[in-house]
Structure 1
Amino acid sequence: MDFLQQYNGSKIPDSTQRLNVFALRKSQIFKLDKSLSTKQFDDSKKRDLQLIGVGSYATVFKFHNRDTGEWLALKRANEDLSEEEKERFAGEFDFLNKIQSQFVISVYLYEEVVPQYTMEYMPYTLKDFMEHNNNRLDFQTRKNMVAQFLRGLQDIHEQDNALHRDLSPTNILVKPQVNGAISVKISDFGLIKIPDSTLTKTRTSKKGVYAALDPLLSSYREYSRENEIFSAGQIINYLFTGKQRLVTNTQIGEVVTRATSSKSEDRYPSAKVLWEAVKVCGEA
């Protein structure tokens, strides 16, 4: 069974385990580093923008598309960025526009004047989703979510040999579907590394949440596929347990232990091989 076959049809099993979307709606997608007006009006596009996140690199809004009735997100580069950082911002859009993965956040239109771009709106981070719904998820649903995450990671790695470098529960987004299925997509490519690309030249002193814990990563400039597998193992543990602490006394725990091993030769060589290991695990 491949990635797609495994994740299709993922549903919450019965009404007693319905997702806690009420609590999630009260949660912010991103932690705000500074206070801004919660609403702005974009005169050029006649969009009412609702602030959902601010970081050192960009500001994110959501808005209602009056033509289609759907919600979209708008990522706007912060005004204090250098020219090199603005080029990197545009490069992130180019990468996401090129990858066209079902399991990576979609982007639509780049607007150079600001600069900013519109993208798919996913209402919850994996962190918020798990905090409110961990006890409601059965084993198969968790497995389906892992399948989507690892397929997205494989798609990233196969596109120009790219590395995300900042996999974390706040950079993976979740959207419950009306049929009970749960859509999972990877987002936030601010630290992406592409060999022989200018996208790699800035912000190399920063570390991802899990990458910073990797015993095999002595320098962030040396970040490689084996370090990405370490972060992926941490995400898998979180999806199956809802805990940051590694749980090792299960079949899934054995997979996570190997993915996060302090020995390079023990780690899985790819997201696809990692999924093959997860796929055969039973609930016991």
Structure 2
Amino acid sequence: MNIENYIEAQYRELLSTNSSIDVEFSELYTGIEHTKLHEILATLHQNFISLFRLMNERLPTKDLEAHFWADPSRSLIKTIEITLGLYNALKNTKLAFEINEYYFDLIKKCRDFLSSSGGSTIPSNMDKIDLYYTIPLFTPKSVVTIDHPQTTRSFALKQIGDGSYANVYKYRDTFYDKVFVLKRAKTDLTPKELERFRREFEEMREFSSPYILEVYRYDEVKNEYIMEYMNYTLDSFIQKNNSSMAIGLRKSIVHQILRAFEYIHSKGRLHRDISPKNILLKEYHDTHVVKIADFGLVKVPDSSLTTANTEFKGYFNDPSLVVDGFDTYSILHETYALTRIVYFVMTGKTNTDTIPDSKLREFVKKGLHADKSMRFKTTTEMVQAFRTIS
């Protein structure tokens, strides 16, 4: 097969279904040096996002099936055909690329139920689809390194936060024309506190999830590191928007939070400092993305950094920890704090004395039960229980 001709053919095929080649997601594919393949992948990304956004209007299906309209069904079939055709044709060439695992599984699932006529029947028990606005769906197997000009620049810092171990600032990097966050350790930390600060960075760097805040570089001399910038804490977002928030947005935020902690727990970690100030949101034109931050108290198996005297910090934590000691912290304390977060997102309140919605009331009652053995035992159990709340 002539690869150049095949790419050109797919490029023209894409133009036959799109009015133009899309550039919205072009920056995610700067590692693709082949110009037309770069444009194709950026456009395929846009197609998937717009079509899955439409499909989300019919999701989740729960125990029932749902109808997906004919025109978007045909468009999604064509987008999948071009994607998989390119993936297979380029597999053993220098232009080979990987498809994001979550989307690869989703593509194969959709391929099984999509119909080219009369619309498609979405199967039961299909969840809403996570829309990746800042994460590439396609990654080149051979990554090229781009050398930037050697420059040294200074940027003014504006303090935006103050914690036990660090001060937090934001700044605009004029080279990238983008806002970043700098987290700088305080100068009076003990060696153990400084070790905890450094471990927070290492833990966040090791995670690979769209729901964990990205960190970029640790400065060994200044004991500081750079992070991505987010628009809000969950606390500030709820305060600003509580009176106008639709139930769909509230449930989307909860689903993302629970998904994040499912991932964290799957890695054998407990966050231990769950609060509306450590859950962040980035606001896009038509969606809100949740990311978890502040892993300074993360519980790591066999770590020597946690003792019975570790300070009780998370203000959504189980009060029994004051008596029991923070070294007893377990998944049952984590699900307690997450239950309070779910209630806060769904109502904008922290007082759980009166809850009119019976299903939400049962959810909260179980999650905050005084008998720890009666609480949610996993985040997955919480996800399943939350699906029953209308």
TM-score range, shorter chain: 0.7 to 0.9
Match in the other structure for 2:260:
152
- 1:52-63 → structure 2 map (5 Å cutoff): 52-63=160-171
Asked if 2 retains the 8 angstrom alpha-carbon contact of 1:192 and 1:200, the reply is no
Match in the other structure for 1:134:
242
Q: Distance in 1 between matches of 2:245 and 2:295?
A: 28
Match in the other structure for 1:248:
355
- 1:1-284 → structure 2 map (5 Å cutoff): 5-6=127-128, 8=130, 45-159=153-267, 161-178=268-285, 180-201=286-307, 204-214=310-320, 218-246=324-352, 247-250=354-357, 251-282=359-390
What are the ranges of 5 or more consecutive residues in structure 2 without an aligned counterpart?
Answer: 1-59, 63-101, 104-126, 132-150
Sequence identity, in percent?
34
Q: Distance in 2 between matches of 1:148 and 1:268?
A: 18
Change (3 A) 1:95 1:199: farther
Q: CA RMSD in A?
A: 2.5
Match in the other structure for 1:37:
none
Q: Distance in 2 between matches of 1:168 and 1:243?
A: 13
Deviation, 1:47, is: 2.1
Deviation, 1:201, is: 4.9
Deviation, 1:203, is: 6.6
Question: Which residue identity is paired with 2:158?
Answer: Q
What are the ranges of 5 or more consecutive residues in structure 1 without an aligned counterpart?
Answer: 10-42
Change (3 A) 1:224 1:254: same
Asked if 1 retains the 8 angstrom alpha-carbon contact of 2:271 and 2:298, the reply is yes
Bigger Rg, structure 1 or 2: 2
The answer to which structure, 1 or 2, has the higher relative contact order (CA under 8 A, 6+ apart) is 1
Deviation, 1:142, is: 0.6
Q: Distance in 1 between matches of 2:379 and 2:316?
A: 16
Deviation, 1:266, is: 1.8
- What per-residue deviation string (whole Å, max 9, x for no partner) do you get for residues 35-78 of structure 1? xxxxxxxx965222111112231011111122322211000001
Deviation, 1:186, is: 1.4
Partner of 1:229, secondary structure, is: helix
Q: Distance in 1 between matches of 2:174 and 2:237?
A: 28
Partner of 1:51, secondary structure, is: strand
Asked if 1 retains the 8 angstrom alpha-carbon contact of 2:204 and 2:215, the reply is yes
Using structure 1 for the length normalisation, give the TM-score. Answer: 0.80
Asked if 2 retains the 8 angstrom alpha-carbon contact of 1:237 and 1:253, the reply is no
Q: Distance in 1 between matches of 2:269 and 2:160?
A: 27
Q: Distance in 2 between matches of 1:80 and 1:202?
A: 23
Equivalenced residue count is 248
More helix by share: 2
Asked if 1 retains the 8 angstrom alpha-carbon contact of 2:307 and 2:327, the reply is no
Question: Which residue identity is paired with 2:128?
Answer: Q
